[in-house]
Amino acid sequence: MKRQIRRIWRRSPAALLREAALRLFLTGLTLAVLFLFLIPMAYGVVTGLKTGYQIAQSDAPWWPASVETITYEGKEYEVYYVPIDGKEKPMALYKKGRKASLLLDPENLEAGPIEWQGNWRSLKRVWRFDPQWQNFVAVWETIDFPLLLKNTLMFAGITTIGAVLSAALVAYGFARFRIPGKNVLFMVMLSTVILPGAITLIPTYYIWLRIGWVGTWKPLIIPAFFSWGTNVFLLRQFFLGIPRELDEAAMIDGASPLRIFISIILPNAKPALTAVALFHFFWAWNEFFGPLIYLAGHPEKFPITVGLTQFNNLYSQSAHLIQAASLMSAALPLVVFFFAQRVFMQGVVITGVEK
């Protein structure tokens, strides 16, 4: 700290000013970009809290609101801003007329309708802040969110276990054993990750069809237990970093490779295993194409992604409901992310930079 202070005083005021300006500019730039970047999120939240009516009205404010009304003699009347005596007073429109209208003073209802000269069309309505939290409830029930959530959780949970387990086994094989053609196999595995998977789709789909498992989750869950290239890659990198001396010590004590795997490698790889689990969990949460083709026609088995799409197809006119539904789908992954962000980003780095 002292060194920094000395360094600052050594520099000229011009350089300090320049640095401060640069800091201001770049930080401001980042904030501006961040703001624009996250605007759709704000839009989603705000729109999700509006009524369908508000969205269609051109004079509505951008925040969730509904028109102020008062009840008089059993009927509702909308409140407008009326210029009276030089001030804009909120008055309810009792009877609309082209040249003159009848108004009601909300603070003085007993006085009855007051006549006002002017075109009512020139008046602006009074909107008050009115977030429609019940939109979320409505969506929850219409889309049967608990069912979608259950399906998605089941899929994500089971496949994560399978993915981590199988990837760990395979990564251990690549990391610790000398096998003829190991490097070739590794390259082949990497290329299966990169190249388009559609090529395997038709025969695989047909076989599942013949077995009779199309329409169930099985075609989507079973492949997860056979390991996925990126997970293996990440774990292999990590396993290579675990010192061999630990293995060797166990070997001296007569441990079999399986024993070493369970007792030495796995406990030492917890960060990497967690990262793989998280990655896979989010990937599964996001899965769309697989469930789309294998679960078509079985809405009771849909995950959130497909259910949301179907909801959009039915209710695309109701922007507020669509936004509310989208936010609901995003809620759980976001919450998990905020708790696990460090692990996540480290995992991204390991996978990405090593290539």
Enumerate residues 247-266 that contact another protein by CB under 8 A: 247-248, 251, 257, 261
Examine residue 355 and tell whether it contacts another protein (CB under 8 A): yes
Per the DSSP assignment, residues forming a β-bridge with 83 are 88
242 binds another protein (CB under 8 A): no
Nearer CB in complex with another protein: 118/223 = 223
Hey, what are 22's tokens?
A: 């640069």
Given candidates 151, 159, 160, 326, which one binds another protein under the rule CB under 8 A?
A: 326
Figure out which of the listed residues 137, 179, 187, 314 binds another protein, where binding follows CB under 8 A.
179
Burial class (CB in 10 A: 0-12, 13-18, 19+), 51: buried
Q: Using a CB cutoff of 8 Å and minimum separation of 24, what contacts does 119-126 make? A: 120/80, 120/93, 120/96, 123/80, 123/81, 123/82, 123/93, 124/59, 124/80, 124/81, 125/59, 125/67, 125/68, 125/78, 125/79, 125/80, 125/81, 126/67, 126/68, 126/78, 126/79, 126/80, 126/81, 126/90
Q: Does residue 17 belong to the site contacting another protein (CB under 8 A)?
A: no
* Stretch 72-91 residues interacting with another protein (CB under 8 A): none
- Concatenating the DSSP letter of every residue in 47-70 gives HHTS-HHHHH-TT--SSSEEE-EE
Q: Which stretch binds another protein (CB under 8 A): 40-48, 76-84, 95-103, 139-147?
A: 40-48
Number of residues forming the site for another protein (CB under 8 A): 96
According to CB under 8 A, which residues from 116 to 175 bind another protein?
A: 166, 169-170, 172-174
**The binder of another protein chosen from 66, 69, 204, 237 (CB under 8 A):** 204
- The reply on whether position 63 binds another protein by CB under 8 A is no
- Return the half-sphere exposure (C-beta side, CA atoms, 13 A cut-off) of residue 153: 8
Binding flag, residue 51, another protein (CB under 8 A): no
The yes or no reply on residue 180 touching another protein (CB under 8 A) is yes
Among residues 37, 59, 111, 270, which is the contact residue for another protein, using CB under 8 A? 37
